[in-house]
Amino acid sequence: MSLDQKFNEAAEKVKTFTKRPSDQELLVLYALFKQATVGDNTTDKPGMLDLKGKAKWQAWLDKKGTPQDTAKEEYIKLVEELTAKYL
């Protein structure tokens, strides 16, 4: 199975979790997913009152410079770890 197939499978698996991961776990999942699919964050920083948007933006920015394949591998590994806790 290719890396892209494993990544897509992991992304689908997240949708089947029966319990909600912690906010920090969700931020890491989001950041790795965005880095893997889009690459480095080049978007404008959200407004001061958009706390959720700023947290997501910063988490993604923290992954800057991570190659997309590396982000995919980290995402797959994290989903495997979280599956044991939340599925």
Residue type for position 35: Q
CATH code for position 42: 1.20.80.10
How many domains does the structure of the chain reveal? 1
Residues sharing a CB contact under 8 Å with residue 50, sequence separation 6 or more, in sequence order: none
* Residue 17 pLDDT: 95
Q: Which domain holds residue 23?
A: 3-86
* Residue 83 pLDDT: 95
Residues of the chain under the 50 pLDDT cut = none
Token pair of 62 as six digits: 């923290």
Specify the pTM: 0.95
